[in-house]
Amino acid sequence: MSPSTLISPLPTPLDVLGQVFGYSEFRGPQEDIVAHVVAGGDALVLMPTGGGKSLCYQIPAIVRQNAGHGVTIVISPLIALMHDQVGALLEAGVSAAFLNSTQTYEESSALEKQLLNNQLTLLYAAPERINTPRMKGLLTSLHERGLLSLFAIDEAHCVSQWGHDFRPEYRSLSLLHETFPDVPRMALTATADHLTRQDMIERLKLEAAREFVSSFDRPNIRYTIVEKTDPTRQLLRFIQTEHDGEAGIVYCQSRKRVEEIAAMLEGAGIKAMAYHAGLDAKLRQQRQDRFLREDGMVMVATIAFGMGIDKPDVRFVAHLDMPKNIEGYYQETGRGGRDGLPANAWMVYGLQDVVNQRRMIDTSEVASEEFKAVMRGKLDALLTLAEGTRCRRVSLLGYFGEASQPCGNCDNCLNPPAVWDATEAARKMLSCIYRVQQASGINFGAGHLMDILRGKPTEKVVQYGHDQLSTFGIGHGLGESEWRGVLRQLIASNLVRVNAEAFNTLQLMPDARAVLKGEVSVLLRQQAPSSKPERSKRGGKPVKTSVKGMAEATLNAGALERLGRLKSWRAEVAKEHNLPAFVIFHDATLRAIAEQAPNTLHDLSGISGMGVKKLQAYGAEVLRVCAEPQ
């Protein structure tokens, strides 16, 4: 069904927002973006995950198609995302389709005929398909007929070598401007620092595009970074005490670790699956579909999982290993709490994470020195975030150029970390590194330095004569864990460098000289004695972000009964349509229906998320479910 059968022949964006998507007003900059693109302008849109990016091109597509401009081509990197977004559009009454490698020649040919007959409002395609001779020919035919309305490039940060998800095939999208200069283009992404943003503009030829940069703040997400002691035990306790029975994502660096953690969670009675690039593509798709469709599922994955995941009720995103940079961290944590309800971004972090990430940068055989330098800078920014004592949100938003105030909803705000004058400890560590290098002519790693500081005459220490150094045993007052904390923060403060190209040895940086001379003092974050559940500033019970039952707590008994029946009905419909349940109706829409107990279609029509097509398709059934005896 075309939107033209639901709304007036020349609808306004507000008409489309209300009658097709069921919302009464735009959020943030959506209205300005939509108006600019409807008028034929190019746009660069930076909007956080869950901020409503899709509507910024879907509404212009509908308005421009009704005005006779033809189809909007959406370039999207993931087949699963195409499938769910097209399914959601069809549910809303919008003529949409996708072209990808899963389709037969006959299916692709049929879609091409629909396009040429102006029967589609949006077509989703992968970037690699856009550059094929057949697709180029199809786009040219559409353009010659005046049926090429708009190009929307989703996940546009993938075009940048500085971004966290660089995909070479995105580089070919410069052909859109070169071949169809009169067709408006918009690029959309959730995360991009200044360097990545400039690269996007240059690569996609969007120098003349208007930039729309939303606030990156996700106030419903609580950021927590804890010291890595026993990560497996820490994760299990976190899930069991904070998010029992709730959906979440756990990120690990290696495939082996992913499998181990998934098995551990399953053994503990938590519904969990493993996802990584080493699995068969069909199995990965099955697991992704199951994650989207089942409640309370935990996906343990490498970063191969997540881009475009639209599941609204992910209550936590956990990192057992440190990401490469803040963009990657922010993009991954942003997959939690898309419904606006509280979610947790939780990460454990230790010295070995720093060593591993630095090694991956320094030992790359394909990266240029310029690229390595930029990546080191990005890693340093993430280390500063992890070791910092100020509000996590202020640090995160500051990285993206946005000023903010302390949020009161991160670990550093809820439990301000104690700091201590670590000048003496820092000087001991720096002096030990210097003395060892001076005595041996070579550098050594963290473990060896700590053995010297703590006065442990290991075979290696004795072999090199390091038990005779003046720094031998001067650090006996601190334990190994505490010295590791000191070293980690000295690395984050750019006083010490891990040289991954020389077996992860430690080297002094230029700023260390002032510390050794006693010219500057060093204040470091005090290590927490253990990773216990967060407590509020006033003490008392642990602060929890679990939202199980939170929204339902305001509903009376009758409304709760209706909500249960509505969710069961929605699950059946979603299964019939092979779509995630939230594509049929979001939880917020079902809660509003349950609370209002509508008796007529007119009562239903004013509920947020209830567009005209959904009212036609499901209105009578929803009323029937609501009216069932308790």
The DSSP letter of residue 619 is H
CATH topology classification for 419-525: Arc Repressor Mutant, subunit A (1.10.10)
Write out pLDDT tens, residues 604-621. 988 999 999 999 999 999
Q: Does domain 552-627 have CATH number 3.40.190.10?
A: no
Q: How confident is the model at residue 500 (pLDDT cuts 50, 70, 90)?
A: low
Q: How confident is the model at residue 4 (pLDDT cuts 50, 70, 90)?
A: very low
Indicate if 419-525 has the same CATH topology as 221-414.
no
Q: What is the mean pLDDT of the chain?
A: 88
Res. 5: pLDDT tops 60 = no
Rounded to an integer, what distance in angstroms lies between the CA atom of residue 630 and that of residue 564? 11
Res. 543: pLDDT tops 60 = no
Residues 247, 539 contacting (CB under 8 angstroms)? no
Q: How confident is the model at residue 552 (pLDDT cuts 50, 70, 90)?
A: low
Tokens of 574: 């979603």
Res. 187: pLDDT tops 70 = yes
Res. 458: pLDDT tops 80 = yes
User: If you average pLDDT over residues 171-190, what whole number do you get?
Assistant: 92
Q: Which helix (H) or strand (E) holds 474?
A: none
Q: How confident is the model at residue 7 (pLDDT cuts 50, 70, 90)?
A: low
For residue 271, the tally of other CB atoms under 10 A from its CB is 16
Give residue 538's pLDDT: 37
Give residue 554's pLDDT: 72
Give residue 372's pLDDT: 84
What would the DSSP string read from start to end of 152-175? EETTGGGG-TTSTT--GGGGGGHH
In terms of average pLDDT, the best of 41-45, 309-313, 442-446, 481-485 is 41-45
Res. 541: pLDDT tops 60 = no
Rounded to an integer, what distance in angstroms lies between the CA atom of residue 392 and that of residue 611? 38
Rounded to an integer, what distance in angstroms lies between the CA atom of residue 230 and that of residue 288? 28
Share of the chain above pLDDT 70, in %: 93
User: If you average pLDDT over residues 320-332, what whole number do you get?
Assistant: 90
Read off φ and ψ for residue 449, nearest 5 degrees.
Answer: -60, -40
Residues 449, 433 contacting (CB under 8 angstroms)? yes
User: If you average pLDDT over residues 357-383, what whole number do you get?
Assistant: 84
Give residue 123's pLDDT: 96
The DSSP letter of residue 369 is H
Res. 146: pLDDT tops 80 = yes
Give residue 100's pLDDT: 82
**Cα distances (angstroms) measured from residue 500 to each of 70, 115, 356:** 54, 54, 8
Q: Where are the domains of the chain?
A: 3-213, 221-414, 419-525, 552-627
User: If you average pLDDT over residues 418-423, what whole number do you get?
Assistant: 90
Res. 471: pLDDT tops 80 = yes
Range of weakest confidence among 59-63, 237-241, 415-419: 415-419
Rounded to an integer, what distance in angstroms lies between the CA atom of residue 489 and that of residue 417? 14
Res. 501: pLDDT tops 70 = no
Range of weakest confidence among 155-164, 240-249, 394-403: 155-164
Q: Would you call 56 exposed, middle or buried from its count of C-beta atoms within 10 A (0-12, 13-18, 19+)?
A: buried
Give residue 339's pLDDT: 86
Res. 511: pLDDT tops 70 = yes
**Cα distances (angstroms) measured from residue 629 to each of 6, 595, 611, 624, 625:** 33, 16, 27, 10, 9
Res. 537: pLDDT tops 50 = no
Range of weakest confidence among 98-112, 115-129, 415-429: 98-112
CATH topology classification for 3-213: Rossmann fold (3.40.50)
Write out pLDDT tens, residues 514-528. 999 999 999 888 876
3-state helix, strand, coil in the chain (%, to 5): 50, 15, 40
Q: Assign 608 to helix, strand or coil.
A: coil
**Beta pairing partners, 300:** 250, 274
Range of weakest confidence among 112-126, 472-486, 489-503, 566-580: 489-503
Give residue 262's pLDDT: 97
Res. 549: pLDDT tops 60 = no
Res. 20: pLDDT tops 60 = yes
Give residue 351's pLDDT: 82
CATH topology classification for 221-414: Rossmann fold (3.40.50)
